[in-house]
Amino acid sequence: MEPIRISSPADVISYMGHSLGYWPQESLVCVALDGTTLGPTLRVNLPDTTDVGEAYSDRVAHYFGVDHDATAVLMALFTHQPWSKGGPKPFATMVQGLRCHFSAAGLLVHHVWIVGPTSFVPYDGPNSTCCGQEIPLAALESSTLNAELVYQGSLIEPSDTPAIPELTATHADHDAVDSAMRFMASHPAKGLAAVYRLWMELIDHGAEPTHDQLAEVLAGLQQVGLRDQILADMPGINEPMGSTLFGATDEAPQWDRIDRSESLLRQLLTIAAPTHAAAPLTMLGHICWWKGKGTAAANYMHVALTFDPDYHLARLLDQMLGAGAVSGWAQHKHTAYRNPH
């Protein structure tokens, strides 16, 4: 794959959207630089108020500081906050705090932009009290980098909210799933082993599952032990289950294998009744968390807990997300998920 070349502010803003896979809303986005090499992209929610305390800047700098190879950073504020000429610059306290934290860590803040609904501007204009010259967002569509990435198949979704198939009785197959669950209850060792082999066959050989196979896998995932084994084996690395589930291994996971698992889990949702949906929803959220997509993971947990408020794994992941926990893989550039395009 040819190296990505960034030569304009429009290229940078486009890259942020392509790197995340969606257009961020009310977000601070930071891209690490190791010399002239692009590093990980970090996105966090902007604070609810423009009067930001020290804790916010400290938390962002901590998340960003895990990349020990970074030498500089590019920042953008995606917001609907106005930046009218002569008015105060949005989030001035926050930006100044981040500059100080990054500087203390030896990171140079190369550029900061504000990206609004229709245009973007450099944060620093001719003087310290105003922003730079406004540039229409239409410039992003014509940027060289955006054109190259779109040609390679990369798309920027409108938001990071996952498209969760509607779970209705029309598409759900209660009978097939319940029948498979009864068989597993009567023959636990044989039934669960068969589901595990089927999952591995579908993931490793790329076969298109039949309706009955989807029902069998969905039934198997209702068993917590099999669900956890499949989650732990999903990354395709020989590490302890605890380390794998928390994304805490030095070895990078096989992200293409995880992507295939994600696709299969989404197929399961097309036949899942609400009573069977918590397992695949939670596993999809877990994958999002591995990839560093916290907001999408939280959305999956919310839906899973809507169907089953007592689903333990969903409650655990929801608590971790609420505490700001980030998977180990997402914190290091050699293990972090990369958009395949």
User: For the segment 98-135, what is each residue's pLDDT rounded down to a tens digit?
Assistant: 888 888 888 888 899 999 999 998 888 777 677 878 88
Give the model's confidence band at 8: pLDDT under 50 very low, under 70 low, under 90 confident, else very high.
confident
Nearest to 335 by CA among 252, 254, 256: 252
Distance of CA 248 to the CA centre of its chain: 17
**Residue range 39-56: average pLDDT?**
74
Say whether 157 sits in a helix, a strand or coil: strand
Instruction: Please determine, for residue 1, whether its predicted confidence score (pLDDT) is greater than 50.
Output: no
For 273-291, the DSSP string reads -GGG-HHHHHHHHHHHHHT
Domains in the chain, CATH or no CATH each: 9-151 (3.40.140.10), 174-331 (no CATH)
Alpha-carbon distances, residue 287 vs 12, 13, 96, 109 (angstroms):
27, 26, 34, 31
What is this structure's pTM?
0.74
Sign of CA dihedral 316, 321, 322, 324: positive
Helix (H) or strand (E) holding 44: strand 37-45
Residue 213 has pLDDT above 60, yes or no: yes
pLDDT of 65: 60
Element counts in the chain: helices (H) and strands (E):
14, 6
Output the CA torsion 161→166→172→177 (10° steps): 20
Structure tokens at 98: 């981040």
Q: How many other C-beta atoms can be found within 10 angstroms of the C-beta atom of residue 264?
A: 17
* pLDDT (mean) for 2-18: 81
Residue-level pLDDT at 229: 95
Kindly state the tokens that stand for 241: 């289950």
